[in-house]
A and B are shown apart, each in its own frame.
Chain A
Amino acid sequence: MNDADAAAQQIVKTFEHQIAGIGRVQDIPVVSVAKEAIPTIAHYIHSMAAFRGTLSLQWAVDLRPMAARSQIYYLFSLAGHGAWLILLTELPDGDRLFPSITPRIHAAKWYEREIRDLFGLIPEGHPDLRRLVRHEHWPKGTHPLKKDFAWDHVMGRQQGEYHFRRIEGEGVFEVPVGPIHAGIIEPGHFRFSVAGEPIMQLELRHFWKHRGVEKLFENRTLADGVSLAEKVSGDTSFGHSLVYCEAVERLMGMTVPPRARYLRTLFLELERIHNHIGDVGAICNDAAYALALAHGGRIKERVMQLNDRLTGSRFLRGVNVVGGSAIDLSPEQIDEVVREMDAIDKDFGELSAIVFGNASLTDRLESTGTLSEQIAWDHGVMGVVGRASNIDRDVRRDRPFAAYLDLTFRVPVYTYGDVRARVRVRIEEVQESIHLIRQVRERFPAGDVRAPIPAPPEAGRWALSAVEGWRGEILYYLMAGENGAIHRCKVRDPSFVNWPAIQFAVLGNIIPDFPLINKSFNLSYAGTDL
């Protein structure tokens, strides 16, 4: 019996009369409850000292045509080793209301607005029912993830206006930024309210890039969804395709050959290395230290050229396939990787020494954009940003996937939560990743790299999987449809969770520091907007 089972037992004991049933999928206890009881039980899991459950994901499923009802899932990661527990409630066809848990659990706020936009189910009691994904020009009643909505539906346009939260008073100004920004970055809108220099309020308006990814997954079969997962967020192509493959493999009960598991670990760490190194340079550049950008860009390019030589793709696309890896590496190639990593370890170490030897630069990084541990925890913040604010979570350690169970590494955690801490976490993670790649060479098993794909699972079965991408925990929920089709695919990039936290990290800082703070978070817009 693990932590989650014990927790499930205690919940059943405490709320005896409200529990409709308890089941188990993979190693996750699933507690079914009536919808009225959801806020109380969710708050209980969230606030009890023994559980301290973080809401990791909330999503809905339209079960038609299998059954005429909808489901809403609440995934909690419990304190300690992050054991998973799911709360599940069902709404009969025609019932569009479910109680909101946002007043008690902040982390639910975007999930519930997303469910409302995409499924037309209304979170009763949600303090902010403005549209999130659907911009104001989408016609009323457009809910794309409902099963009676065609994937290639041609939308009309309507008039509408989005109302930003306003602060009014003498000397208070609003500064709108975006969706098109000054640099080569993705589109998003930021609305600042300032009095003088300091930021009093920041409000995000995202989802400009909504491409309908989750609906497009429903057009694919389980075996060929990988190439779409690679395009959810290009900078995390490998992370997303890996978590997708792991979800399908769990759903089909497949065992991935050990050699493929090691290859996946190697490539996931390469992706982490090139992104982190590029970020360290880019963060320094936003504090006007161009030298670090030049060196960071150079080292990052070196890793991406290595990716290209190994796999034929600078973004490691086309490597992951359901059941293993499409490519294998020869001993010479592995040696080449480790040689490059040794050189980069030294090269990047020298760059870090230059960065932290520069007092005028570190002065800009310290105490800028501080995200407190309390706010980080309240909003379920994770990944690099979370670990810089003392949220000690890393899927590689807590729920080992690929080959991480066999390997040793340290998870760097800082308590300050400022830009400097986020740079520190990245630098140390690069060192750990290089260390991991050396271990992969030492322990690299022989054998096949690809397992055959078995018969498709029966419709209605589902699986959940998590991978620590370079930004943080990526989650995929997959429900199988008829004959190996995908009935529902819920994609959750860590950016979706971390974006709202930036609204708190910037408070009291000056607008010229915003690019620096934003870069230190470096969140994906594409992965959020889907």
Chain B
Amino acid sequence: MFRIIKKSLKTGVVTGRYPQPTAPVPHMTDETKAKAAPFGKSLTIREVDTGSCNACEMEMNALANPVYDVERFGVHIAASPRHADALVVTGPVTANMERALKDVYQSTPDPKLVIALGDCAIDCGAFKGSYAVTGPVDRHIPVDVKIPGCPPRPAEILAALRALMAKTR
């Protein structure tokens, strides 16, 4: 017990210790902002991987670590699409995942937002045109926000989520 307390005291607070993002915050239309408005200061996210290389997942996971601590901004990660306000979709949508993506979208209660995370989700990236890929995401389900990057840094994802949740004037 003493060891654990000592470790915590020695470590101190690490939240916020990351370089500020240099990439511009993705553009959000008034329509998107209006769709996000009902969720106020709390947004529950379900992450769906439709064929990414796992780098985007690692950065989404990093959001939950003590350095970024996404929960302090009211963003929660849900275990089921039925609990989600927003879907975060990564990867170029493979032929094998297409149906699962559509099922997840159907299972998410309205109103809902869809965020395409990473270059693959936005335009299939390096996998564009492949026989095994049927994407990008917005070919199958409507996308509200696009966060580019390969992969986008956690700080960039966080900035985009905060911009989405920020109150309009």
Contacts and interface: CB of A to CB of B under 8 A. Distances in A.
A151 B67 contact: no
Interface stretch (B27-35, B47-55, B136-144): B47-55
Contacts of A228: 126
B126 A149 contact: no
A468 to B, nearest CB: 19
A232 B127 CA distance: 11
A298 B52 contact: no
B57 A185 contact: yes
A304 B58 CA distance: 11
Interface size class of A (residues with CB under 8 A): 35 or more
A345 to B, nearest CB: 15
B62 A297 contact: yes
Interface string A299-311: 0110011001000
Interface centre among A227, A294, A524 (most CB of B within 10 A): A294
B53 A185 contact: no
Contacts of B3: 350, 353-354, 357
A41 interface: no
B132 A211 contact: yes
A212 B97 contact: no
B62 to A, nearest CB: 6
Contacts of B131: 144, 149-155, 212, 215
A491 to B, nearest CB: 12
A213 B79 CA distance: 30
B126 A233 contact: no
Interface in A263-322: 291, 294-295, 297-298, 300-301, 304-305, 308, 314-315, 317
A305 B53 CA distance: 20
A186 B14 contact: no
Interface string A120-155: 000000000000000101100000100001111111
Interface of B: 3-4, 7, 11, 14, 18-19, 47-62, 64-68, 77, 79-81, 91-92, 94-97, 99-100, 104, 125-127, 129-133, 150-151, 153
Q: Which 10 A-B pairs have the closest CB atoms?
A: A234-B55, A297-B65, A234-B53, A182-B79, A212-B132, A212-B130, A234-B54, A153-B131, A152-B129, A209-B51
